[in-house]
Amino acid sequence: MSAAAKASSRWSDLKILWHLTMSPVRGNTHAQRLESFYSGQAENYDAFRARMLHGRRELIASIDFPPGGVWVDLGAGTGENVLAAGERAGQLSEIHLVDLSPSLLAVAPRNAARAGVDCVHTHLADATRFEREPESVDVVTCSYSLTMIPDWFEALAAAERMLRPGGTIAVVDFYVSRKYATEGMKQHGWLRRAFWTHWFAADNVHLTGDHIAMLHRRFEVQRFEERFGKIPYLPLVRAPYYQFVGTKPGGSSLAGVLI
Confidence band, pLDDT 50/70/90 cuts, at residue 126: very high
Burial 57-96 (b: 16+ CB within 10 A, else e): bebbebbebbeebbbbbbbbbbbbbbbbbeebbbebebbb
Q: Domain segments of the chain: what residues? A: 3-257
At 202 the pLDDT is: 81
Average pLDDT, the chain: 85
Q: What is the largest CA-CA distance in the chain?
A: 56
Confidence band, pLDDT 50/70/90 cuts, at residue 218: very high
CATH topology classification for 3-257: Rossmann fold (3.40.50)
pLDDT at 257 over 50: no
The region of weakest confidence among 33-37, 84-88, 117-121, 196-200 is: 33-37
pLDDT at 18 over 60: no
At 235 the pLDDT is: 82
pLDDT at 10 over 90: no
Confidence band, pLDDT 50/70/90 cuts, at residue 29: confident
Look at residues 253, 256, 246 and name the one whose alpha carbon lies nearest to residue 165. Answer: 253
